[in-house]
Structure 1
């Protein structure tokens, strides 16, 4: 099972590769990266039912 510790570097690697291959995607890649990192950071709190 992938944990957040392994997911975040994989997302960063994929984002970096996409930016290198297609620089015009920079805005979209950064936006998607930030959204995914935010979701993975909040996921434990959302699943445990505790408030922030």
Structure 2
């Protein structure tokens, strides 16, 4: 079984992990949102270079 992590498989997985962490530790919401936006932005820009 070949597991490739691309933008389509990584985004829902990342959202799930961040959602669980926010439920456990509500104070990390700001950091989780910032990290998510940075990751999505880098993945979006990487397709242009």
Q: Same fold by TM (over 0.5)?
A: yes
> What are the residue-to-residue correspondences of 1:6-25 with 2, within 5 Å?
6-25=9-28
Q: Which has the higher helix share?
A: 1
Using the size of structure 1 for normalisation, the TM-score is 0.79
Question: What is the root-mean-square deviation in Å for CA atoms of aligned residues?
Answer: 0.8
Shift of 1:41: 1.3
Q: Which has the larger radius of gyration?
A: 1
Shift of 1:3: 1.4
Shift of 1:43: 1.3
Using the size of structure 2 for normalisation, the TM-score is 0.83
Aligned length: 46
